[in-house]
C-alpha cells in the first residue's frame, strides 16, 4: 500500500531516530485503537449495548448512510427466528412483543426473542451461527412476553479481561439469569448453577426479566419485571449485582427497604439500567410501588419508587436519587433508560442524566449530584376524593424542556372523522374527570393525561453528541382509570356488559378497590381513532444547549391513508425508540403502520421509509462491518398493540 504524504514525511524525517521512528510508524494503528476504544465506550462506531453505548445515547458516528444517499438504502438481508412456532398451543401471541435491539460483538449480532431464545448471526450476511433456547414454559402466566435484548461481557472497555472468552447474558421472562459462551451458545457451567442463576429464589415466583442486565467491569446488574396491578404485596423490586465470572451475588438493593411495615412491593427496575464505568455508577430507573392505582396501603412519597437512583457498582451504596413522581397512583413508572449525556454550559461539558418520563417531562440532572441542570419546581396538584387515599400535594415539574404529549383534555379537544364520531368523543370526555396532569383516579372515572403508555415510553430517547440535540418519539393518548369498590365489582361488570364497554381489569388484591382501565380511542376495522385532536404520535427534537424545542413532526399513521387524505399529518401511537447518526439521520419504526423511517435530524423532514414484513415495535441499531454500514431492526409485531406478528430481523445497506 502506498504511504500517505503525511506518513512519508514523518518516516523520512525520523529515520535517524529509530525509537521515535518506530513509534510514529505505529501512530495510525495507535490512533485507530484509540478511536475504536472511544467508539465502543460511547457507542459511536459500533453497537455493543442495548442503547448503543452503556449510557443509552443511541448515537452512531457512522455516516456512510447519510441524508444525501438515504434514497439508495435497500434491504441487505433478512433473518427469521421461527418464533411464532414456539407459541403453538399457548396464548402467548396475545402478549408477545418482539422489542429486542441486537448488539454487535466482533462480527456477530446477538439478540433475544420474546420467549427469551438467544440467536447469534453473522453481521454481514444474517446467517445463523447458533441458537440457545432456555425452554420457557409459555403455558404459564407472564405479565409480559418480551425480551429487549442481551448483554456481552467482557466489554471492549474491560482491559483486565480482554483475553477472556466472551459471554452473552440473558434475563428470561421466567426469572433466570443465564450466561452463554458467545462462540458456541452453550451455557457457561462455571457461572452460577451450571450457567444459571434463579432470580426468583428467596424473592418470589412473580419475578421476570424483560430488559438486558447492565455490565460494569466484572459486575452484572439485574433488575426485574412484574405485573404490579394484580395485588399490593408483590415482591420487592430488588436490584442485584453478580460477579460476571462466578455468578456470586455481590450486593442487593431494596428500593422499599424503608417501607417494611407497609403492605406493598414492586418499585422494580424493569427498564434498562445505564452505566458510567468511569465513576463506578449504575443508574437505576424504578417504577411504581404496588398496586399502581391505589396507594392507601403505602402512604407517603414511597421513597425510591418512580426514581432514578445512582448506585455505586462496587458496593451497592446509593450515591443519590431523584424522584420524578411522589406517591404514584397513575402507573408512571420510569420506562425509558436513563440517558447519560454531556450538556454544554459556559464552554464546558457537564456530565448529565436525561430522564424521559411517561408524563412527557424530561428531567436533566447533574450526573454527579443528581441536582437538576434546568429549573424544576414543585407544583400543587389535585387531591384525591377516594376514601383511604392521600395524594402528594405537590409534584416536580421541569420548566425546561417543556412538557411533551397530552397534558390536559377538555370537551373542546374532542375529535372524530365525522360530526357523529366527534359528538361521541365529546360525550365520552364529559363523562370523566380531568383537571390536568396528576388528576387522581376516581369512582366516576378519570381521564389520565398522559396515559400510562406515555409521553416518553420504554422506547426512550437518543442524543446527538456533536449537535447537542435530544430526540424522542411521543405518544398522545389519555387513559381512563376508574376505581370500583371491591364489593360492587360484580354489579359493575354487569353494567359494563350492558353498555358494551371494554376495560382492562386490575384486581389490586389487598386493597378496597379494583381498577378498570380503558383509553380514549375507538377501533373500526384496521383504523384506530384517538378521540382527541391530533397529533397522536410525534417525533420531537430538543436543543440541549438551552432546553428549547427545535422541531416536532407527526410520526406515522394508523388509519387508511386513501380514505383519509390527512392521515399522515395525524401521527400514530408508537412503541419502540429512535436512533440518531452522524449522517444527519434519525431512524425510527415503532408505529402501527409497519414502516421503518429515516428523518433529517436537522429539520425533521421524512426522507425515506420502508415497509417491514411485520410490526416494528423495537428500536433499530447500526454498525459497520467489512466496510459497509448496516441499519438493523427486529420486526415481529406486538400482540397487545395489534400489529402484524412475525419473526423477522431485517438489515438495510446502500445498494
CB 177 within 8 A of CB 139: no
Instruction: Tell me how many degrees the CA angle 237-242-246 measures, rounded to the nearest 5.
Output: 150
Cell numbers for 633, please give them.
Answer: 431492526
CA 82, 86, 91, 96: dihedral to nearest 10 degrees? -50
Structure-block grid coordinates of residue 146: 418480551
Place of cell 420474546: 114
How many Å apart are CA 47 and CA 43, to the nearest integer? 6
Q: What distances in angstroms separate CA 540 from CA 480, 530, 554, 588, 592, one per listed residue? A: 25, 20, 9, 12, 18
Listed in sequence order, the residues at least 6 apart from 349 whose beta carbon sits closer than 8 Å to its beta carbon are 342, 343
Residue 515, strand partner residues? 483, 506
Distance CA 34, CA 29 (A): 9
Q: What is the pairing mode between strands 578-581 and 59-60?
A: parallel
Closest CA to 375 of 361, 357, 393: 361
Q: Which long-range contacts (CB under 8 A, 24 or more apart) does 237-240 make?
A: 237/265, 237/266, 237/267, 237/268, 237/269, 237/286, 237/287, 238/203, 238/268, 239/269, 239/273, 239/284, 239/311, 240/199
Q: Write the CA distances from 222 to 10, 109, 163, 247, 312, integer angstroms.
A: 50, 22, 25, 12, 14
Q: Catalytic: 331? A: yes
User: What are the percentages of helix, strand and coil residues in the chain, rounded to 5?
Assistant: 15, 35, 50
Omega before 535 cis (within 30°)? yes
Given the residues 259, 292, 331, 464, select the one marked as catalytic. 331
CB 326 within 8 A of CB 301: yes
335 contacts 457 by C-beta, under 8 angstroms? yes
> Which residues are known to be catalytic?
331
Amino acid at each position: 500500500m502506498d504511504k500517505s504524504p503525511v506518513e512519508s514525511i514523518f518516516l523520512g524525517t525520523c529515520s535517524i531516530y529509530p525509537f521515535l521512528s518506530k513509534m510514529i510508524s505505529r501512530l495510525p494503528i495507535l490512533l485507530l485503537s484509540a478511536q475504536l476504544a472511544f467508539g465502543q465506550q460511547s457507542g459511536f462506531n459500533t453497537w455493543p449495548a442495548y442503547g448503543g453505548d452503556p449510557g443509552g445515547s443511541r448515537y452512531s458516528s457512522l455516516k456512510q448512510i447519510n441524508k444525501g444517499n438515504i434514497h439508495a438504502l435497500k434491504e441487505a438481508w433478512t433473518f427469521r427466528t421461527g418464533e411464532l412456532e414456539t407459541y403453538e398451543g399457548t396464548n402467548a401471541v396475545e402478549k408477545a412483543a418482539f422489542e429486542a435491539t441486537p448488539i454487535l460483538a466482533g462480527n456477530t449480532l446477538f439478540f433475544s426473542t420474546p420467549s427469551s431464545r438467544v440467536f447469534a448471526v453473522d453481521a454481514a450476511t444474517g446467517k445463523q451461527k447458533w441458537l440457545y433456547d432456555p425452554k420457557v414454559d409459555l403455558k404459564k402466566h407472564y405479565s409480559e412476553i418480551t425480551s429487549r435484548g442481551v448483554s456481552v461481557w467482557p466489554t471492549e472497555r474491560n482491559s483486565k479481561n480482554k483475553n477472556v472468552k466472551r459471554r452473552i447474558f440473558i434475563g428470561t421472562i421466567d426469572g433466570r439469569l443465564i450466561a452463554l459462551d458467545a462462540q458456541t451458545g452453550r451455557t457457561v457451567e462455571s457461572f452460577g448453577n451450571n450457567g444459571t442463576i434463579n432470580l426468583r429464589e428467596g424473592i418470589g415466583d412473580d419475578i421476570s426479566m424483560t430488559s438486558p442486565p447492565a455490565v460494569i467491569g466484572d459486575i452484572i446488574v439485574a433488575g426485574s419485571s412484574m405485573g404490579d396491578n394484580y395485588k399490593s404485596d408483590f415482591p420487592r423490586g430488588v436490584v442485584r449485582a453478580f460477579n460476571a465470572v462466578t455468578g456470586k451475588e455481590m450486593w442487593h438493593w431494596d428500593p422499599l427497604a424503608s417501607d417494611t411495615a407497609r403492605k406493598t412491593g414492586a418499585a422494580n427496575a424493569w427498564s434498562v439500567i445505564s452505566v458510567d464505568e468511569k465513576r463506578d455508577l449504575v443508574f437505576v430507573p424504578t417504577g411504581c410501588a404496588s398496586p399502581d392505582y391505589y396507594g392507601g396501603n403505602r402512604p407517603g412519597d414511597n421513597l425510591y419508587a418512580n426514581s432514578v437512583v445512582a448506585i455505586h457498582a462496587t458496593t451497592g451504596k446509593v450515591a443519590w436519587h431523584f424522584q420524578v413522581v411522589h406517591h404514584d397512583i397513575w402507573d408512571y413508572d420510569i420506562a425509558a433508560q436513563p440517558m447519560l449525556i454531556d450538556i454544554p454550559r459556559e464552554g464546558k461539558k457537564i456530565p448529565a442524566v436525561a430522564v424521559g418520563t411517561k408524563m412527557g417531562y424530561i428531567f436533566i440532572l447533574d450526573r454527579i449530584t443528581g441536582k437538576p441542570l434546568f429549573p424544576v419546581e414543585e407544583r400543587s396538584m389535585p387531591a384525591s376524593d377516594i376514601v383511604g387515599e392521600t395524594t402528594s400535594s405537590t409534584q416536580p415539574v421541569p420548566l425546561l424542556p417543556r412538557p411533551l404529549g397530552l397534558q390536559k383534555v377538555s370537551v373542546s379537544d374532542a375529535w372524530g372523522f365525522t360530526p357523529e364520531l366527534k359528538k361521541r368523543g365529546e360525550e365520552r370526555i364529559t363523562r370523566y374527570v380531568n383537571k390536568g396532569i396528576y388528576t387522581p383516579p376516581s369512582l366516576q372515572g378519570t381521564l389520565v393525561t398522559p396515559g400510562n403508555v406515555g409521553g416518553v415510553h420504554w422506547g426512550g430517547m437518543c442524543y446527538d453528541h456533536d449537535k447537542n440535540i435530544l430526540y424522542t418519539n411521543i405518544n398522545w393518548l389519555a387513559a381512563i382509570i376508574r376505581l370500583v369498590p371491591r364489593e360492587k365489582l360484580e354489579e359493575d361488570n354487569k353494567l359494563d356488559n350492558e353498555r358494551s364497554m371494554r376495560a382492562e381489569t386490575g384486581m389490586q388484591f389487598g386493597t378496597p378497590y379494583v381498577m378498570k382501565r380503558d383509553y380514549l380511542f375507538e377501533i373500526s376495522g384496521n383504523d384506530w381513532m384517538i378521540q382527541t385532536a391530533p397529533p397522536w404520535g410525534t417525533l420531537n427534537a430538543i436543543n440541549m444547549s438551552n432546553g428549547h424545542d427545535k422541531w416536532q413532526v407527526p410520526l406515522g399513521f394508523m388509519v387508511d391513508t386513501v380514505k383519509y387524505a390527512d392521515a399522515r399529518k395525524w401521527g400514530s401511537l408508537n412503541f419502540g425508540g429512535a436512533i440518531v447518526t452522524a449522517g444527519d439521520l434519525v431512524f425510527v419504526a415503532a408505529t402501527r403502520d409497519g414502516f421503518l423511517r429515516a428523518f433529517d435530524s436537522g429539520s425533521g423532514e421524512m426522507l425515506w421509509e420502508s415497509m417491514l414484513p411485520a410490526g416494528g415495535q423495537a428500536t433499530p441499531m447500526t454498525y459497520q462491518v467489512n466496510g459497509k454500514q448496516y441499519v438493523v431492526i427486529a420486526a415481529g409485531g406486538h400482540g397487545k398493540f395489534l400489529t402484524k406478528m412475525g419473526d423477522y430481523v431485517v438489515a438495510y445497506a446502500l445498494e
